Structure 1
């Protein structure tokens, strides 16, 4: 669509009442051709006067045409250009219906080429916003977090935690499916996915009833690069930098009905040395107890992943595909802190050096298989999907305390073996009731089981390690979800469209614990999830959309697991197995407009949530505190999101995104010194400059306000990147240079919390400046004839989308 809008700058628009319509059809498969470019030219001088693209049904419509003689030119990659006979618009004949226009395959085989997309960086569609990451220069050599920071409405903090419109309750999918890579820890997963492998990112803020009910703020789908073009093709890329080294590659092979694809990726983060300051005051009558920690820490991270997939077209209407993905992640965190405890009357009471080591070893596997059947009637299709996910997360830590005054020398260590297992079955069917009505129905079953087996050991300076039996536990959590949905889509005259649906979900949960301190639990509940979207497309390339949906957010294992993490002995953390799901009503009004070289997307939204899951800090005694999770009564948010893009001349493009929203939380059980209402924001600016000889320069800046919780605020985050890219080897390869945070070597992050009888402050400093050199190379021989035939017979990708579970992020940095 962006191609048409860009070309429209040179059109000589003829004002009038004439209308021309038709449908673009593949001459071999007799299936509609979507996104074909339709241009209207004057018959006499071939000057373009109007244009459009075909929709998913192959339909197009041109309006506002003046009287005269014209020809219609239809083009699409892999097809021969088609021109119609003379078309005459007059007062007596101002509505022309051309019917079917057939496109024939060009029959060309392209050797050793790179296919360059011409899409805009950001596309606004009726049900989602699409960020075309492969066109972004400054993200090269980075990770998924670097890409998501550029996506409108999305924010990512320094640890990689992802929010959508200020809410962390977002479901992240990879190629339309959940992944064990993401399910256990979003922040780690974002660092594992190289930006070079991301094709685009889809943001769905108002999912229909077809999607799982979870993800109260919406869905983010990361689409990786993959080709359906016949032949052999692939790419290899690498990054060498001052903070990060990466390498990844992919290979695709297709011939006839069979296709194979494989990929790999690896990353190594140099250990980064930072500093930490922590101060907590507890008040009792006129006594103030003061706990402080000061010291340094070092974090390291590395990992890798591989994937293999095959697909087979049984015939023109039946296809089968299967894929396997494996991943492994290792991380370390070593810290050395000086801890002190004092009061305002007695002065210093105790002091010790605390040295700690925390290791995490995670491994995951995803296996999915999909079957799809299409019919002669367009949009009629049947699909069945199966997915198996396994994940293991083994962590261990040890703390050594060297007493300076009062405390004895001692060591405590812990082991936690976590496993999660998930099986999903899904069936979907779409039936066109008429040319303007589409019925979609389906069902889904998700069977989940997660375990956590942990133990603690303790020893004094001269003794042996002894088990702390009161802290050991084996926790088993089972969650089964059964769902069915129905969605009706209507297409009306004058550009109106309506989608209405309902989804019924039943959830059955059970938790068992060997610890007498934690009670076993079983529960079940039903949720009905309605959805409604009404859209209007106007002839001036603008659209208006209003939507409503209800969402729920079930807590995942991290929020539920009662394992006590005492890697920081003064600030332990543990989950709450009694958490309830969040329930959200979401309303949105959106408007988009293309005019000249400028595009604008604006939306106003409102969310109202009950049983909100938030982290809560609770004092355990005069020295120690604990971070856990609780359901607070309610929260609401009103927000405005603006995204704009403008092309300045032929070489420079400017883009900007701003999201301003309110935080309003209330719970009579939680006491805080902070106001329950705040105005927050996140915004970014991006500029790209195309230079001669295939050079590109791009700059990116991001600015986020501090994040709010009901007890206080977490750190703000901002960054600035500049990137350079040069195409080489006939545009099959590229060299790049990226610089992040050039003006400051380190970044400081400040958090402050207050509660009943206490307040606390923390400041963390981490190295952030980085320089990286990237290289990528694409290779292959591609045949577009088989691609076009297959794309019409197989159509859009289907599969499991577990838009499910409140996914964990890095713990609140108190």
Structure 2
């Protein structure tokens, strides 16, 4: 009944807004309209959802605008009689200008017919686009951030790019969340990789910012997507081409905190296309610290107080290498294959790690430690995909395969000093190698219906076989040179095997109703079987389960290109190895943590309502949402008999969130633009056992771009987020900012730039609080991430347009709750993917 009530209220609001818009529109007595159809000049196909902006002739004063529908058709109203210039833009195409448009009457239509748009890869050296490109594009089912137009991220990685994207939040450690939830799916060119499954944070650090073309934020995925992701899906679109000839791009950068070097090459001859690339990034001098104070009520009602502090240092090395080939067998049959490799080496140190123990106010012990952690991994994704098209436009069959593997080596050595704080008393070592493999096969069908094919039926099936293994052991050694002795405690030394099989089928239907309505219902069913066991024990009893996942997306085009959309979907989040891994993390002996191998999946119902409008030079987007999660996987902390805080994961009762966001993009002039957003939501958590917490979370961002003469450009970015609510406390807020200056030269083949991050702030502090009936803990993490950097890139070779552009497909697996931080539990991951989003 609650779900029915939410849906009723939700779509009632949609209907009210629609009726209001219709009433307002009818009062204008059929005003003058400029109409046209945006098409690809190479293929003749419509450019769906292209953006149209109308300017007064001879000036940069924007007077009206609109968004094309799925067939590329658009209309613009709200202008007075006069002479105008129209500019049509869309991701992947050059901005098209239509001059000398004359509106002679306040009524009637000015039909521009077909407007042909060229791919932006055509004759780059010969095209000069005047004015400021848009950074944000709003489509029916997603919001697109055009990262290639943002020069402040040059020399950075995927983390730096996602910090600028509306509806996303990235903290100082690189953990990503959407609308307050870190349970999101990250795809790269519509497919995940093994490293993204085990740690989204690590995957983003391996992708150079200069290779990211756009970021798509999909808050309400349809049935063709795997059922994973409480908040939604993030698709990172990299720069690639379908061009003839050869080209190579070299880029490098260096700074106080890191350096990078990358090379990418493309070649296409006839029916064959090849890509080869490599990127390396080193991080160094990443220093910080932490302090922690915890008050614990012991089982005998005595009061323990623990005060800790340490200096931290991190060095890391990331690499990503890829090779791809595609082959056009004939007009209707295509093959694509790709191999991607990733490496990560990370070393973390905690020096001067001092722990002071108090009992009822008296100091009873002081201990000095030194902790060294090594976290290395390597991953590989191998895909082979076949696509068949037909003479009937839009009809398609695809068979997609993927093998994905991630090997991870995680260990730490905790050195305890004697009371003199100089000689070594003992050493504790933990080794935790893990391995994750996936085998995926997927079959998809796309069938246009009706004479004009305006309705589309999509259906398909998919099978994912996952194998995850965590081998863990503890060793103890006396003094500085004693031999390590392995523990025989099965809770400390063991092996955990986890096999999961997910079989899924889906159907999705898209149609247009009453001209201006688009309806997209879908249904997906997934059946999951699990086998898990320990080396020293019999198999764990984890039952199989089936999940029915409905989805519904509805949009309504209004006058002047405005758009209102509503959506409902149900999602499932299976726990990944981060949450399941039974390895005991005792790197800090006063705060230990362990995964829970028998976790259940969590289920989420999402409701969303959005409205986009244009007002002269300004674009505005309003979004509201409600999210209800049952069986939410959350950290739970308890006190052991020795006063140690033990953290694990449990399926708490319920997590609700209701909130909204406002986003705006303003073209102040042809050279100066601003965009920004404010997002807030109210979070309510309850474990059903008397523990609950709730509160507001607010965040905001601002981005400015100014074009200077002679191909110079300056950009400024800032972001801030308040504290976030957790079941047993809060995690601290933070802020950051950056400045970039960029100069292009040699007909825009090369660029050189200077960037500065957090240049007025020596260090950032993030404060966290945990409050339970027996635990009060306050901790502060310090990061010194002031950075100055110089970036250089240059493009060699020249490409021309290949008229035979084909849509590439690949697999995506996006059904695991993997968390944002990727580092709490010495975890590996349990995912990899196939793409095509089905």
TM over 0.5: yes
User: Are the aligned partners of 1:737 and 1:774 in contact in 2 as well (CA < 8 Å)?
Assistant: yes
Looking at structure 2, the residues matched to 463 and 479 of structure 1 have their Cα atoms a distance apart, in angstroms, of: 41
* Distance in 2 of aligned mates of 1:633 and 1:98: 58
Quick one: structure 1 residues 810 and 716, their matched pair in 2 at CA, closer, same or farther if it must change by over 3 Å? Answer: farther
2:540 corresponds to 1:520: yes
Q: Decide whether aligned partners of structure 1 residues 780 and 633 sit closer, same or farther in structure 2, where only a CA change above 3 A counts.
A: same
Matched with 2:740 is: 723
Given the alignment, which residue of 503, 506, 525 partners 1:482? 503
- Corresponding position: 1:242 with 2:260: no
Deviation at 1:683, TM superposition (A): 1.0
Aligned to 2:670: 650
Q: Distance in 2 between matches of 1:104 and 1:348?
A: 75
> 1:87 & 1:735 partners in 2: Cα distance?
42
Report the equivalent of 2:466. 448
1:109 Cα shift? 7.5
Q: CA deviation at 1:62?
A: 6.3
Indicate yes or no: 2:815 matched with 1:798. no
Partner of 2:493: 472
Relative to structure 1, is the Cα distance of residues 114 and 478 closer, same or farther in structure 2, using a 3 angstrom cutoff? farther
Shift in Å, 1:686? 1.3
Aligned-pair distance for 1:397? 1.2
1:50–1:547 CA distance, 2 compared to 1 (3 A): closer
- Distance apart, 1:241 and its partner CA: 0.2
State yes or no: 1:581 paired with 2:595: no
Post-superposition CA distance 1:305-355 (Å, at most 9, x none)? 10010111222222211111001100011113112222125x222222111
Q: Aligned partners of 2:185 and 2:580: how far apart in 1?
A: 18
Aligned to 1:388: 403
Cα distance in 2 for partners of 1:350, 1:27 equals 77
Give 1:155 shift: 0.2
- Contact 2:30–2:108 (CA under 8 A) maintained in structure 1: no
Distance 1:630 1:801, change over 3 A: same
1:767 aligns with 2:784: yes
| Alignment-derived partner of residue 292 in structure 2 | 278
TM superposition shift of 1:618: 2.1
State the partner residue of 2:348: 333
1:505 matched to 2:526? The reply is: yes
Counterpart of 2:59 in structure 1 is: none
Match of 2:551 in 1: 531
* Contact 2:77–2:560 (CA under 8 A) maintained in structure 1: no
- Once the two structures are superposed, residues 745-793 of structure 1 have per-residue CA deviations (whole angstroms, 9 ceiling, x without a partner) of 1111211112231211211222111111111112321212x2xx223xx
1:112–1:781: 8 Å Cα contact kept in structure 2? no
Corresponding residue to 1:683 among 690, 693, 700: 700
Structure 1 residues 670 and 799: CA distance shift in structure 2, 3 A = farther
- Offset, 1:608: 0.4
* Structure-2 change in CA distance of 1:498 and 1:89 (3 Å): farther
Deviation digits for residues 490-531 of structure 1 (CA, Å, limit 9, x no counterpart): 112342111111101111111111244x96233211111111
RMSD, matched Cα: 3.6
Mapping of residues 208-227 of structure 1, within 5 Å = 208-227=222-241
Retained in 2: the 8 A contact 1:351–1:403? no
For residue 413 of structure 2, what is the aligned residue in structure 1? 398
Residue equivalent to 2:610 = 590
* Alpha-carbon separation, structure 1, partners of 2:413 and 2:523: 50
Alpha-carbon distance, 1:595 to partner = 2.1
Q: Which moved more, 1:528-537 or 1:690-699?
A: 690-699
**Distance change (3 Å), C-alpha of 1:801 and 1:700:** same
Equivalence map 1:191-230=2 (5 Å): 191-230=205-244
1:306 paired with 2:325, answer no
The offset of 1:295, in angstroms, is: 2.1
Structure 1 position 132 matched with structure 2 position 146: yes
The 2-side partners of 1:159 and 1:75 are apart by: 36
CA contact (8 A) 1:711 1:755 kept: yes
Partner of 1:676, secondary structure, is strand
How big is each residue's C-alpha offset from its partner over 1:464-513, in whole Å with a ceiling of 9 and x where there is no partner?
32210111111000111111111111112342111111101111111111
Identify which of 429, 432, 436 aligns with 1:413: 429
Residue 80 of structure 1 deviates from its aligned partner by 14
Counterpart contact for 1:358–1:397, Cα < 8 Å = yes
Q: Whole-Å Cα distance in 1 between the matches of residues 279 and 762 of structure 2?
A: 28
- Contact kept in structure 2, 1:332 and 1:358, CA below 8 Å: yes
1:589-643 per-position Cα deviation (integer Å, ceiling 9, x unaligned): 0000122110011100000000011112222233422222111100100011111
2:531 touches 2:539 (CA, 8 Å); kept in 1? no
Q: Which residue of 2 aligns with 1:428?
A: 444
Tell me the distance in 1 between the aligned counterparts of 2:178 and 2:95.
Answer: 43
Do the aligned residues in 1 keep the contact of 2:319 with 2:343 (CA within 8 Å)?
Answer: yes
Deviation digits for residues 149-175 of structure 1, max 9, x if unmatched? Answer: 110000001111100011111111111
Instruction: Determine the structure 2 residue equivalent to 1:11.
Output: none
Cα distance change, pair 87–580 in 1 and its aligned pair in 2 (3 A):
same
* Alpha-carbon separation, structure 2, partners of 1:744 and 1:98: 53
Q: Does the CA contact (< 8 Å) of 2:440 and 2:464 recur in 1?
A: yes
Given that 2:65 and 2:561 are in contact with CA atoms closer than 8 Å, whether structure 1 keeps it comes out as: no
Q: CA deviation at 1:661?
A: 0.2
Q: Summarize the Cα distance change of 1:81–1:481 in structure 2 as closer, same or farther, 3 Å threshold.
A: closer
1:713 pairs, out of 730, 737, 745, with: 730
Structure having greater relative contact order (Cα 8 Å, sep ≥ 6) = 2
Q: State which of 270, 286, 304 in structure 2 corresponds to 1:256.
A: 270
Equivalent-residue separation in structure 2 for 1:415 and 1:380 (angstroms): 52
Paired with 2:97 and 2:209, the residues of 1 have a C-alpha distance of 38
Is the CA contact 2:76–2:560 (under 8 Å) kept in the aligned structure 1?
no
Distance 1:587 1:78 in 2: 33
Stretches of structure 1 that go unaligned for 5 or more consecutive residues are: 1-13, 43-47
Distance (whole Å) between structure 1 residues aligned to residue 739 and residue 320 of structure 2: 28
Tell me the CA shift for residue 570 of structure 1. 1.8
Rounded to whole Å, the distance in 1 between the matches of 2:98 and 2:400 is 42
* 1:661 is the counterpart of 2:678: no
Contact persistence 2:693–2:725 (CA under 8 A): no
Could you report, residue by residue, the CA deviation over 1:383-432 in whole angstroms, capped at 9, with x for unpaired residues?
11111100000112111212329999221112111000001111111111
SS in 1 for 2:791: strand
Report how many residues are paired: 784
CA contact (8 A) 2:578 2:822 kept: no
Matched, 1:150 2:171: no
| TM-score in terms of structure 2 length | 0.86
Relative to structure 1, the CA distance from residue 240 to residue 798 in structure 2 (aligned partners, 3 Å threshold; closer, same or farther) is: same
Q: Alpha-carbon deviations, 1:523-576, whole Å to 9, x = none?
A: 211111111111011231210001100011111011101011222222222111
Contact (CA 8 Å) 1:16, 1:64: kept in 2 or not? no
| Distance apart, 1:242 and its partner CA | 0.3
Paired position in structure 1 for 2:798: 781
Instruction: Give, in whole Å, the separation in 2 of the partners of 1:71 and 1:459.
Output: 77
Q: For the Cα contact (< 8 Å) 1:50–1:62, is it kept in 2?
A: yes
Output the CA distance in 2 between the equivalents of 1:749 and 1:61: 49
With over 3 angstroms needed to count, the CA separation of the structure-2 counterparts of 1:70 and 1:481, relative to structure 1, is same
